Structure 1
């Protein structure tokens, strides 16, 4: 769909404000979005692998660590999308760049998953 000689872009909430930023900044923002998506895939894969490979860990701790990683992987695309939108909007309005809201909680999730793996090793049956 074309509006005023320019194609209509999604999301309008982002592209309907401010001025076009330098394309290098928009492309860098897109690369950050894709990095969050790769992170999501890695977290989900790690959670599935941890449970699927049946490592010699306490099964309860292994399951908890797996679920924490998978949930973190499910939340990462939210950070990707909303972070991309907030950053693109800030670039278009020449404002300071926002901080990634879910980066801290996702980092904590990885720490907790690691702790559950360690606990799973310590309390594995046979030790």
Structure 2
């Protein structure tokens, strides 16, 4: 009995790629998930710990960190799926704006901290 692999739109068609590339794609996905967990933990910490900044800025920073964590988790799965599908169809790997979005988010958080600390 053959089991259908999920998601079907990723695994349907194409040829099975070399396992090393599939595992590398999975390791990259898991690294993004770890990054997402770090953002979520940072958001909870910023919201829980009393800092010497205004509470409104503290809530903004916490929200920003949590949003970055959620966006990173969601887009990491999409990135994994698109890369896996591209490998199966021997197509170029897709570009991803996730790194730029995260960098902008971290810069915004840093600027907020600098502004409220001065």
TM-score normalized by the length of structure 2:
0.93
Structure 2: stretches of 5+ with no match in the other structure: none
CA contact (8 A) 1:65 1:114 kept: no
Q: How well do the aligned residues superpose, as a CA RMSD in angstroms?
A: 1.2
Which protein is bigger by CA-based radius of gyration? 1
Aligned to 2:23, which of 17, 24, 27? 27
Q: 1:67 matched to which residue of 2?
A: 63
> Which structure shows the higher helix fraction?
2
- Please name the residue that 1:121 is paired with: 117
Q: Tell me whether 1:11 sits opposite 2:7 in the alignment.
A: yes
Match of 2:99? 103
CA distance in 1, matches of 2:97, 2:15: 25
**Structure 1 position 43 matched with structure 2 position 39:** yes
What TM-score do the two structures reach when normalised by structure 1? 0.87
- Residues 29, 88 of structure 1: 8 Å contact kept: yes
Contact 1:58 1:121 in 2 (8 A): no
Does residue 1:89 correspond to 2:85, yes or no?
A: yes
